[in-house]
Amino acid sequence: PSQRLALAAPGPRSAWPSYTNVHMRTHMHPLLAALLALASSCGALVVPLQPRVGSFRLPPCSRGHRPLLSGPLDVSDLGLTMDDLETPLPDLAGGSSIATSGCESTSRLPGSDDSGCRWEETAERMEARLSIPGLRGQPAAAMGVEVTSATATITAFGRVVWSCVLRGACVPDTLTFSAEDGTGMLPEISISIGKAEPGKRWGGLIASIGEDSIL
């Protein structure tokens, strides 16, 4: 039923606005009306706000779709057996196109890393581009490269200026190289050699640098 509630704040009327008497016509629970009356008797009118709380539900998975992380997945329709899972991965030999690359230092100084050797390796060959700081000012036309199955040597005007031990065995007859003038009067030497064991990874060109190398 509808109720008529009159609230009057205590104290001097001069401290309250002209609308001291508040008349509210509403459908209100008797307990709420009592609380409002008690609050007004303490000198303050408190009207609690009731927030609207919504709810939602996730739509169920459509037919034929499996929710993620719901447990073990059934892969029986793939026709796999344990023998298939235990089959070793194919070797890199046989003309594999997979290649790896990286940089190495050409300096013998401990802790020095000039990144002067940029190499790229495939299953069949090792290729490298050398920019050795000690050769700055030398003309590219004077550069030469010699290799054995385990070493590589760079010469300038026929004199040995840098050498290294290779990380793997190569076939010396497969050597190709070129030299060109780079930036800052630093010659850049490109070499390419075939591996004695195709498919075996070297992980770089230089195993150690010779003592006759220019620092």
Range with the poorest average pLDDT among 33-37, 41-45, 177-181, 205-209: 41-45
pLDDT digits (tens, 9 = 90+) for 82-129: 776 666 555 544 445 688 999 999 998 888 888 999 999 999 999 999
pLDDT band at 75 (very low <50, low <70, confident <90, very high): low
Neighbours of 36 (CB within 10 A): 19
Q: What is the pLDDT of residue 208?
A: 94
Cα–Cα separations (whole angstroms), residue 108 to 9, 146, 211: 94, 20, 8
pLDDT given at position 91: 52
Say yes or no to pLDDT of 32 above 70: no
- Whether residue 18 has pLDDT greater than 50: no
The identity of residue 73, as a single letter, is L
Q: Residue 3 has what pLDDT?
A: 46
Q: Is the dihedral of CA 95, 152, 203, 179 positive or negative?
A: negative
Cβ 136 vs Cβ 174: under 8 Å = no
Residues in the chain: 215
Instruction: Give tens-digit pLDDT for 97-106.
Output: 688 999 999 9
Q: Is the pTM of this model over 0.75?
A: no
pLDDT average, residue stretch 50-73 = 53
> How far, in whole angstroms, is CA 178 from its chain's centroid?
36
